[in-house]
Amino acid sequence: MIALISGLTFRIIEKVNDTGNSYAKVVYQNEVILMVNLKNNEYHIYDTIYKELVNVERAEEGIFYVPGKTTTEMTELYLVDDFAKDNQIIGIKVVVEDEKISVAYQESPKDLCQLQKPTSSPLMPIVCLPNELVINVYTDIESNQFIPDSILE
């Protein structure tokens, strides 16, 4: 009962803080590499050593490719994704659909990151530990806060 009340309280707080904008922050090896607006797929790639490994050519479709530590064998993805095959993309395929974000392809033991359901909630991050990738959702920031303050990051 207490867990149910706590969960409902968190949902109410989430709705109160909701600005109408939902952003997904993609972190690889403890560095923010990409921020995506879940409503319109606008994005910002951060100037890190991983910048060249982020592919946003299909951003209008809600498809982003980001690096992953253990995701190096792309044979299965290449069978179903001609764009990835033609461009020899190596990494994790992240999809934004219906204002939710999910991992569509990655390699890890038992593929647990890929099995996590799509999320649009700050309470349900996507964590892919073998690939050192974490995706958090924020619903309480404005578009002018899209690029985080370096002190806070």
Residues 127 and 114: their CA atoms lie apart, in Å, by 10
91-132 pLDDT, tens digit per residue, is 999 999 999 999 999 987 777 788 889 999 998 999 998 899
User: What pLDDT score was predicted for residue 151?
Assistant: 35
Domains and their CATH numbers in the chain: 2-145 (2.60.320.10)
Task: For residue 36, give every residue at least 6 positions away whose Cβ sits within 8 Å of its Cβ, in sequence order, or none.
Answer: 23, 24, 26, 42, 43, 59, 64, 96, 101
pLDDT surpasses 50 at 149: no
pTM for the predicted model, two decimal places: 0.80
